[in-house]
Amino acid sequence: MKLADLAQQRQDYSYAFLDAHAKRELRRRILKAIAIPGYQVPYASRELPIARGWGTGGLQVTLSLVGPESVVKVIDQGADDSVNAANLRRFITTMSGAKTTIDTLQATILQSRHRIPEEIMLEGQTLVLQVPDPEPLRGVTADMSKAHQLHADADYGQMWLLLYEQLVRYRQYIQGASYPSLVNGRYIISPSPIPRWDTPKLHQAAHLTLLSAGREKRLYAVPPYTNVYPLEFNDVPFQVEDQKGWVCKTTGVQNKFMNELPQEDGTSQYELSDSGYANKLADTAQSGATYYDDQGDFYHAGYLKPPVIPPI
Amino acid sequence: MYVAARGGEDAIQHAEQFYQAMLGKLTPEAIQLIQKQLPFLLDKVIGEGSLYSPELAALALAQTGGDVYEAVLLLRAYRSTQPRLAYAEPVTAGEVLTVRRISAAFKDIPGGQVLGPTLDYSHRLLRLDVLDGIREDDAPPAPQAENPAPPTYPVVADWQRSQGLLPALDADQTEPAAVPDVTTDVVLFPAPRAHRLQALARADTGGVLALGYASMRGYGLIHPTVNELRLGYAEVGLRHPVTGEVFSAGRVRVSQAEVISSGGDDGKSSFQLGFAATLGWNEVKLIAASTLDMEMNNREPHPAHEEEFVMYHTEPVESSGFCIHFKLPHYVTFASSMDSVRKVISTFYTNDTPPPQSNHENMQQVQP
Amino acid sequence: MAVPAYTPSEAQARDTFLALMWALSYPGRVYTLPADGHALSLIGVTLLDLETSYFTPDAVIAENLAQTGARAQPAAKAAYHFYPVLDAANLDGLHQCSTGTLLYPDAASTLVIGCQIGIGAGYILHGPGILGQQTIQLDGIPADFWLLRSAVCRYPLGWDVYFVDEQRIVGLPRSVQVERSST
């Protein structure tokens, strides 16, 4: 017998890049995150060969989940063919041998920056959202230790005050993306910089959502079938982006989230932000069920309410 | 339908080829030349990359055309895949094989001021004659010393401790393996001092300098005096797994700085020390970092000198990565904010009384 | 560049982790652990290393867990608990085991408990991961366990529990409310 027979074959990198030690840590943290929906679990966060701030938080979670039989979809701003999405996808497949797809419904793991797809995700699917800033209270306090204490005490008064001030000044909530939302009645989260259009999709979803911030070293979860409510006063309901009348120039579809394309003549054209969905419509003219129907009605009836502009 | 988006991948590949075409050829000779010619650049990258390997640091610099942040990222990403085989024995300043050791606090110190290799007192004039073909090695060599300088020097702070000017050191018996490790632990605040010093050791030189300089200019609460600045080589002492004896596995270039200021807060002594050390020789970073170390101990430092602020904002990989991430498309979030702005405008335009102009200018979201 | 090898130990750890993750994501549903090896030890090997700690009253499992490098700790201090059988003596230990703190609820203990799934007392679960309600049957869990759980687990504090019956596993995160089913 030779020594070489006993030793493991030398490998430049572990399977899925992360070594066993790093994977175990992430996995322990993911389980805690699922058990405490919306609580930001601190983790060590390893460096990856991708620049920090470019999705390394989401990537670490994906790498701790992925296997050879996984089917991975990666999108950035809704698009599969964005260079950043292509780059992350290439890294995941090179390191894991996983298959890739642009079809939301075929994916076992869907890593995304800034969007949740239009088609309703299914049980057993995992949505991994890349998070630049996990702290929804940053606007109230930039100090992480103080924000952490506010979460511990469920002391969210200042967040409500912030919303109230918006109503006083602008007669509406003016938060764009990353709309702060209350998870399972306990923790306020940043749902990552998804548009408000996508925030309701986290509520009572069939799939698991894991959110991870690599630089900030925090990960949190929205488990399946969990209540997620955007912060709103009872008499001034939360509103998604108003894109009524915007028609996709290639598919003719309406009432899905659109990219606005400024034209030279000063007008705008529109196209579907979800490129996988657009491809599906172009290829087969069919898709899975969508969160918003053709009339723009959300699939949980009554969850979204018509706008109310409070009087001055 | 298992289709990857080919267009994006082609673009990435071509962009990388374009970038590589701008650089010199990657050859072992080129790497060796960088290693020989640019030791201080290597030291900066080694310190921030927190991986001691001049050869890999030179490779990283060659591969990135000298983009320091990219080189540091390459080293960090490689480092994070390497197994941890053993923990080295702690090194004390008195044992470091020292080539430069100065103190600004005293005219002379036990062991003497050792200037070592430095440009501190040289005229910074461009050597234009080199361009005319005068070779560097035509210059006369430095005269040989009659007696070699001693390899080690006493520690200035030990003298102050013996005088009762600084508190005595606790003999810290912590096992090397039990020292908190900022690269594998969760970082929480207040952080253990080990995390703080490790973060400073890995910190971005420019970032540490900016915050340290702000303290020195008067935003800070202390006036630092360089008690001791030391450049040298440290033995990497490992414990033999069978015999238990400590042996040297090699030497690494290290540097450390201690700044001193009056007003220790334990009530017994009237001076306090700030400390920083790093792999490689990087004096400006350490003077700033040791100032910050002391600044963070103050009860109410300037917000820019709070522990969390310093540790987060001087992390080179994270700060540079996040800064350049703004090159990524943000059209979805921008669309969402345009929607809000348009709604506000339309709300007020449909109203008879337009809002004061300042409201528009000040309209800010909770999180942009 | 070739894809790094998916070694048997990688595969086993990942399959075990996925069973744990889905069991916790959809509480009350039954998932399957890899077939090779003792289920409780398998979970231990998947989650433990020198960064964490464990407690188990079982000598064989203790021997397996010791090889992970994790620290053996008394029940009051251990992060991961492994009980092949939950008897009255173990319940005393559970009194002391951590439910986390409001600042760090993730510091709470994780309990892995052997029992029989699909027979015995019925329970109705409500909460995150459950559409409407979910029913399970478990045998070998003393009634005092449930009393203790509702007494000490004040959300967001509480234990996260896995019930294991050979290769079958059911998750019960702290976020889920449990009632005895009347049927």
Taking residues C135-145, report their average pLDDT: 95
Q: Where are the domains of chain A?
A: 20-230
Give DSSP secondary structure letters for C40-105: HHHHHHHH-STTSEEE-S-HHHHHHHHTTTPEE--TTT-SEEEESS--HHHHHHHHHS----SS-G
Q: Which residues in chain B have Cβ-Cβ distances shorter than 8 Å to A257?
A: 332
Most B CBs within 10 Å: which of A170, A199, A217, A261, as the mutation test of the B interface? A170
Question: How many other CB atoms sit within 10 Å of the CB of residue A232?
Answer: 16
- Residue A123 pLDDT greater than 90, yes or no: yes
Taking residues B2-29, report their average pLDDT: 80
The hierarchical CATH code for the domain A20-230 is 3.40.50.11310
Interval B35-80: pLDDT, tens: 999 999 999 999 999 999 999 999 999 999 999 999 999 999 999 9
Residues A83, B80: C-beta atoms closer than 8 Å: no
When CB atoms are compared, the residue of B5, B76, B336 closest to A86 is B5
Specify the amino acid at residue C100.
Answer: G
Q: Do A54 and A76 form a contact (C-beta atoms < 8 A)?
A: no
Percent of chain A with pLDDT over 70: 97
Reference B56, options B70, B67, B42, B66; nearest CA is B42
Report the CATH number that the domain containing residue C165 is assigned in CATH.
3.40.50.11310
Residues B322, A215: C-beta atoms closer than 8 Å: yes
Is residue C157 domain-resident? Answer: yes
Residue pointed to by tokens 């200018």 = B361
When CB atoms are compared, the residue of B4, B328, B339 closest to A84 is B328
Backbone dihedral region for residue B116 (phi beyond 0: left; psi -120 to 50: alpha; all else: beta): left
Mean pLDDT over all residues of chain B?
Answer: 87
What pLDDT does residue B350 have?
64
Interval A176-211: pLDDT, tens: 899 999 999 999 999 999 999 999 999 999 999 999
When CB atoms are compared, the residue of A24, A95, A227 closest to C49 is A24
What pLDDT does residue B353 have?
54
Alpha-carbon span B188 to B199, nearest angstrom: 13
Mind telling me how many Å the CA of B271 is from chain A's nearest CA?
29
Residues C5, A223: C-beta atoms closer than 8 Å: no
Q: C: neighbours with 3+ CB pairs under 8 Å? A: A
C12 touches chain A (CB under 8 A): no
Residues A65, C18: C-beta atoms closer than 8 Å: yes
What pLDDT does residue B93 have?
94
Residues A31, C110: C-beta atoms closer than 8 Å: yes
Interval B222-249: pLDDT, tens: 888 999 999 999 999 998 888 989 999 9
Residues B367, A89: C-beta atoms closer than 8 Å: no
What pLDDT does residue B269 have?
59
Is residue C59 domain-resident? Answer: yes
Mind telling me how many Å the CA of A41 is from chain B's nearest CA?
10
What pLDDT does residue B7 have?
60
Mind telling me how many Å the CA of A240 is from chain B's nearest CA?
9
Q: Which residues in chain A have Cβ-Cβ distances shorter than 8 Å to C128?
A: 37, 184, 223-227
Reference B61, options B85, B36, B98, B82; nearest CA is B36
Interface confidence: ipTM more than 0.90: yes
Specify the amino acid at residue B124.
Answer: R
Nearest CA in chain A to B321: A52
Q: Which residues in chain B have Cβ-Cβ distances shorter than 8 Å to A173?
A: 340
B177 touches chain A (CB under 8 A): no
B332 touches chain A (CB under 8 A): yes
- Residue C3 pLDDT greater than 50, yes or no: yes
Q: Which residues in chain C have Cβ-Cβ distances shorter than 8 Å to A9?
A: 5
Residues B73, A215: C-beta atoms closer than 8 Å: no
Taking residues C173-177, report their average pLDDT: 98
A20-35 and C8-25 are packed helices; what angle lies between their axes, rounded to 10 degrees? 10
- Who has greater pLDDT, C16 or C183? C16
What pLDDT does residue B134 have?
73
CA-CA-CA-CA torsion sign (A138, A142, A148, A151): negative
Alpha-carbon span C172 to A46, nearest angstrom: 30
Phi, psi angle pair for A285, to nearest 5°? 60, 15
Q: Which residues in chain A have Cβ-Cβ distances shorter than 8 Å to C24?
A: 31, 34-35, 223
Is residue C178 domain-resident? Answer: no
Name the token pair of A6: 């006993």
What pLDDT does residue A118 have?
98
Residues B367, A190: C-beta atoms closer than 8 Å: yes
What pLDDT does residue B367 have?
42
Interval C50-87: pLDDT, tens: 889 999 999 999 999 999 999 999 999 999 999 999 99
Asked if the peptide bond before residue A224 counts as cis, ω within 30 degrees of 0, the response is no
Is residue C46 domain-resident? Answer: yes
Is residue C165 domain-resident? Answer: yes
Residues C130, A28: C-beta atoms closer than 8 Å: no
Taking residues B3-14, report their average pLDDT: 68
Interval A274-286: pLDDT, tens: 999 999 999 887 8
What pLDDT does residue B5 have?
45
Is residue C166 domain-resident? Answer: yes
Q: Which residues in chain B have Cβ-Cβ distances shorter than 8 Å to A22?
A: 80
Taking residues A39-52, report their average pLDDT: 94
- Residue B358 pLDDT greater than 50, yes or no: no
Residues B2, A54: C-beta atoms closer than 8 Å: no
Mean pLDDT over all residues of chain A?
Answer: 94
Most A CBs within 10 Å: which of C48, C106, C125, as the mutation test of the A interface? C106
The continuous run of DSSP H or E covering B129 comes out as: helix B128-131
Residues C173, A35: C-beta atoms closer than 8 Å: yes
Is residue C15 domain-resident? Answer: yes
What residues of chain C, 85 to 114, have a C-beta less than 8 Å from chain A? 101-103, 105-106, 108, 110
Weakest-pLDDT range from A4-8, B9-13, C98-102: A4-8
Nearest CA in chain C to A41: C106
In total, how many domains does chain C have? 1
Q: Which residues in chain A have Cβ-Cβ distances shorter than 8 Å to B323?
A: 53
What pLDDT does residue B352 have?
53
- Who has greater pLDDT, C164 or A52? C164
Residues A35, C4: C-beta atoms closer than 8 Å: no
- Who has greater pLDDT, B109 or B360? B109
Weakest-pLDDT range from A67-76, A259-268, C143-152: A259-268
Q: Which pLDDT band holds residue A10 (cuts at 50, 70, 90)? A: low
When CB atoms are compared, the residue of A25, A149, A184 closest to C103 is A149
What pLDDT does residue B12 have?
83
- Residue A225 pLDDT greater than 70, yes or no: yes
Interval B270-327: pLDDT, tens: 789 999 999 999 999 999 999 999 999 888 889 999 999 999 999 999 999 999 999 9
When CB atoms are compared, the residue of C4, C110, C127 closest to A14 is C4
Alpha-carbon span B214 to B217, nearest angstrom: 5
Domain that holds residue C114: 8-171
Give DSSP secondary structure letters for B307-351: HHHHHHHT-HHHHHHHHHHTTS--HHHHHHHHHHHHHHHHHHHSS
What pLDDT does residue B127 have?
83
Q: Which pLDDT band holds residue A271 (cuts at 50, 70, 90)? A: very high
- Residue A9 pLDDT greater than 80, yes or no: no
Alpha-carbon span A10 to B83, nearest angstrom: 13
Is residue C114 domain-resident? Answer: yes
Residues B308, A143: C-beta atoms closer than 8 Å: yes
Q: Which residues in chain C have Cβ-Cβ distances shorter than 8 Å to A11?
A: 4-5
